[in-house]
Amino acid sequence: QVQLVESGGGLVQPGGSLRLSCAASGSIFSIMGWYRQAPGKQRELVASISGGGSTNYADSVKGRFTISRDNAKNTIYLQMNSLKPEDTAVYYCNARTVRAVVHWGQGTQVTVSS
């Protein structure tokens, strides 16, 4: 059974940093990533990373967020720096198995506010 366990969300002031983690188990995963959904908005891709380390970022987070992956631990991380109020959202881990089945984590709240 596939499980994605997220951690690291919380409340931070503008300009601050947070690091999200997502530990995956139960399958072999190809592309993994982070999505976010703010109140009243659609869920959007934040960043993704392949098993080989190729990354993709939303334009709004380029230069501020860094996604990384530890294949031995089946874990991805999202280092978020220079956070802005508009980064406030529920962040969801996403993982695609080698059979192209997509799984989602339960979500972790990130709030950027003074």
pLDDT tens digits, residue range 42-79?
999 999 999 999 999 999 999 999 999 999 999 999 99
Residues above pLDDT 70, as percent of the chain: 100
Can you spell out the DSSP letters for 38-105? -TTS--EEEEEE-TT--EEE-GGGTTTEEEEEETTTTEEEEEE-S--GGG-EEEEEEEEETT--EEE-
Structural contact between residues 9 and 108, judged by C-beta atoms closer than 8 angstroms: yes
Instruction: Round to whole Å and give the CA distance between 70 and 83.
Output: 24
Instruction: Assess whether pLDDT exceeds 90 at residue 109.
Output: yes
